[in-house]
Amino acid sequence: MLGIILLWVLGFVLVMLTIMTFYLRSVAKQYEADDEAGLDVEKKKQGITDAQNFVYTALVLVSVGMVAALYIYVKGTPWEAHLMEWLNIVIRLMHITFGIAWIGASFYFVFLENALNRTKDVRDELAGNLWAVHGGGFYYLEKYKVAPKTIPKHLHWFKYEAYFTWLSGFCLLFVVYYFNASALLIDKNVLDISALTGIGIGVGSFIVAWIIYDLLCKSPLIKKPIWFTLVGFFIAVGFAYFYSHVFSGRAAYIHFGAMLGSIMVANVFFVIIPAQKAMVNAARKGLPLNPQLGKNALNRSLHNNYFTLPVLFVMISNHFPSTFGYEQPWLILTIITLGTAGVKHYLNLKEKGQLSVWVLPVSVVILLAGAFISAPPKNPGACNTKIEFSEVNAIVQEKCVSCHSSKPTDDVYKAPPNGVVYDTPADIVAKKDLIMQRVVITKTMPLNNKTNITQKERDIIRCWIEQGASVK
């Protein structure tokens, strides 16, 4: 009842706020026209922008409130899992959309920096220029050494892509891992901690990681790129190791990615944007610029660039149980981080026109090493006796159907995960390859081994599949 009342009240507020955005927009347009006409409306324009920002923030908060009200309404019903699923869809879609906008812009600007023509026909005040053709049009870009003589009125800033990627990512972390901590975050076979402790460690680790990284960037080490990279890399490995010994393999990967992603966004928020603001302000007032600010910002932006591929891998890693399901999940994570950052390094060198050809093959070999060491044993043990289906069925009924049935009895999963059910023999046979992958090879099912399957039972399932998976 409380949920439904809240929903109505907030819904009403939402409609009112939406109407207000139209009104504010029309006023803003009027002031814009006045401005063109030469009237002094600077103060009024600022007032409208503030009001608009306030309304947009309120819109977001009210929407979040409505989701919370909806949650109160459906809590304890079969719709609860359904709501979580749809929240997952919506937030995930937002996350990848903002992420693409952010990483796309980041790649683009690092490309510009790398590919600038710095020598031919470059005016004194410029660092370089670049011709490009895209979408049926020709573009000509110029980069200033420091700043133009007058800062243009309309200056485009790139920051909301980063902030929204992080915000949506954080929400997703809550929806997928923290609300269901006992299911996906915590694996009692790794470390038996409470959900709250797990969440505290997760969130706390991002702050600690940022502090360490930031100190490292402010230390003299920053002047020695090779040492900086080495030390930074070993600290990152430390985090991967730590996460793998605290969380389930899958959650360990996500936390590693979220940790790097948080550093990236903190770089934008605490270093890059403030540096740019200081530069713009100084230029506006005609004060001398501190070139160190620009250098710091460029450095951080370059670090972000190297983090992108490892973070992108982590974003898709939950599809690949052979990575996070490996006995030493941190090792595979480390290898893929190193290999993908290496690939990015190669791309950067190539854009600069440097022929460091060896970087790519070395990176590929590193990645192949990951595939090699995580490969399942070629000879997992002979199957001497013929396995009857009844044996396999008994194991599946005992260890799997609490989640994988049309009516699960599990305390977390109220609908069959991924739609996978094992109610009939045909259901089991149809999924035999996936079962082999998840139960025998990667050992990522039963989830966190919640139902305590034994190695002997895994072997029975393997032998049955190797013998042809017959149900007779």
Give the binding site for ligand HEC (CB under 6 A): 396, 399-400, 402-404, 410, 413, 417-418, 420, 431, 434-435, 438-439, 445-447, 450-451, 453
Task: Specify the residue, 230 or 434, whose C-beta has the smaller distance to ligand HEC.
Answer: 434
Name the residue type at position 50: D
In the bound complex, what is the minimum distance in angstroms from residue 384's beta carbon to ligand HEC?
22
Q: How far is the CB of 441 from ligand HEC (least distance, A)?
A: 11
Closer residue to ligand HEC in complex, CB, 220/468: 468
SS3 for 53?
helix
Minimum distance of ligand HEC from residue 259's CB (angstroms):
21
Q: How far is the CB of 399 from ligand HEC (least distance, A)?
A: 4
Q: Least Å distance between CB 420 and ligand HEC? A: 5
Task: List helix spans (H) across 116-194.
Answer: 160-172
Residue with smaller CB distance to ligand HEC, 281 or 467: 467
What's the CA angle centered on 440, arms 435 and 441, to 5 degrees? Answer: 105
Contact 448, 186 (CB under 8 A): yes
Cis peptide before 425 (omega within 30 of 0): no
| Least spacing, CB of residue 212 vs ligand HEC, in Å | 31
Give 152-174 as a DSSP string: -SS-----HHHHHHHHHHHHHII
Side-chain-side CA neighbours of 174 within 13 Å: the count stands at 8
Distance CA 12, CA 88 (A): 25
Judged by CB, which is closer to ligand HEC: 297, or 400? 400
Query: For the CA atoms of 150, 152, 156, 158, what is the dihedral angle to 10 degrees?
Result: 10
User: Using an 8 Å Cβ cutoff, are 246 and 193 in contact?
Assistant: yes
| Closest residue to ligand HEC in the complex (CB) | 400
First to last CA, the chain: 53
| Nearer of residues 311 and 440 to ligand HEC, judged by Cβ | 440
Q: Where are the alpha helices (DSSP H) in 224-290?
A: 225-244, 249-266, 273-285
Least CB distance from residue 351 to ligand HEC, whole Å? 37
Nearer to ligand HEC, 275 or 447 (CB): 447
Q: How far apart are CA 209 and CA 243, in angstroms?
A: 12
- Mention every residue, 6+ apart, whose C-beta is less than 8 A from residue 336: 310, 313, 323, 367, 370
What's the CA gap between 349 and 321, in Å, rounded? 33
Nearer to ligand HEC, 167 or 420 (CB): 420
Q: Minimum CB separation from ligand HEC for residue 335, in Å?
A: 22
Q: Which is nearer to ligand HEC, 142 or 427 (CB)?
A: 427
SS3 assignment, position 38:
coil
